[in-house]
A = this chain, B = another copy of it.
Amino acid sequence: MEVAAYMQKLGQQAREASRVLARVTTNNKNTALLAIATAIRSQADGLKTANQQDLQAGKAKGLDAAMLDRLTLTDGRIESMAQGLEQIAALPDPIGEISDMRYRPSGIQLGQMRVPLGVIGIIYESRPNVTADAAGLCLKSGNATILRGGSEAIHSNQAIADCIHQGLQQAGLPITAVQVVEITDREAVGQLITMPEYVDVVVPRGGKSLIERISHDARVPVIKHLDGICHVYVDVEADLTMAQEIAFNAKCHRYGVCNAMETLLVHADIANEFLPAMAKRFISEGVELRGCNKTLHILPDINVATDADWDTEYLAPILSIKIVTDVDDAMLHIYQHSSAHTESIVTQNYDTARRFLQEVDSSSVLVNASTRFADGFEYGLGAEIGISTDKLHARGPVGLNGLTSQKWIVFGSGQIRT
């Protein structure tokens, strides 16, 4: 009950702050962002001290090396946080943008105005830099934020929150515009996602099980993606040199990212020509290959792919390969196994490219480009709060606009309905 009361109080304060944020000027928001960046730079030592507390506790708790690495605030990462906020300040303000104003036969002039969503809850795990990044994006888009980071990063997050509050105060904005949940009790998350009266949307960032649990229990909308099971389909009319470059980049540029390729689909008629050289390159890079039966006829030394492989996001140097009969067969496989994140086709055929673009139901669909481009920075959104594999509201990389809504506005001169 104490947790509930605490979270309700944060919620109320956030809702009140959101009313203030909805009417502050662009200049005011940018001043705050730059002041936060300055505070982060000038308090780098304090941030590292707080971070040491978390790191020591993490080591004592036996966190693994990867988790400790994500948790660590180095000078470079602190500088990156500050620069990230400066980049957000430099982005155009989406709020107040009016579009599509037109006259209706009744004489009213109708359009849409972009406005903040209100209050955004962010739930994340060990990386403390998310505290600054998410706060910055929400502030720029005129939203109040409630940040719930991992308990292992609590001291780092609170130290970053102190910098944020200094910046907000310097700019004359309420410090409740950005609130970090200060209790590590798990129930705090349960409360945060079930207060539709105070929270307009939650964005969970982290492992699949965290996101599944939040999606299941939430009573407010959730912007999320669960998996990135991304496919590259090499068509019979592909430029095979291009196909090899794209497939290699999609798999090997980075393994642990959601827009990496997990399954390579190859048209049967070019498989004999394409696969041996492609496989050799993957194997020399240390990628484990797992193939369908037809693939094994061409590449007899690789492992066999089981049914589970087609539905697995490896996030590792592992790749499943399937030979398909045509683009329809490829799209059927994608329909059955894709997580609707990102798919790419390599082809020189106009009709095949058009069909793939139209019919594949994923948040990003590419022709002759690596799946690795499905990313907020590559798409020019300036920054990214996450990637959505849902179809409503935000789809794909979510930037500032994904944290806004459009309301209808009408300019009249006394019109009434008759």
Contacts and interface: CB of A to CB of B under 8 A. Distances in A.
A368 B408 contact: no
Interface in A1-50: 19, 22-23
Contact of A369 (B239, B406, B414): B414
Contact of A409 (B110, B253, B366, B415): B366
Contact of A416 (B246, B359, B393): B246
A207 to B, nearest CB: 20
A357 B396 contact: no
A414 B221 contact: no
A129 interface: no
Contacts of A391: 117-118, 200, 405
Contacts of A417: 249, 253, 370, 372-373, 378
Contacts of A374: 408
Contacts of A372: 416-417
A239 B412 CA distance: 13
Interface of A: 19, 22-23, 96, 102, 104, 106, 108, 110, 113, 115, 117-118, 200-201, 216, 219, 221, 239, 242, 245-246, 248-250, 253, 335, 355, 357-359, 361-370, 372-374, 378-380, 390-393, 395-397, 405-417
29 contacts: A19-B359, A22-B361, A23-B359, A102-B380, A108-B378, A110-B380, A115-B358, A200-B391, A200-B392, A221-B221, A239-B414, A246-B416, A249-B416, A357-B409, A363-B408, A364-B408, A364-B409, A364-B410, A366-B410, A367-B409, A367-B411, A368-B411, A368-B412, A369-B414, A373-B412, A373-B417, A392-B392, A395-B405, A395-B408
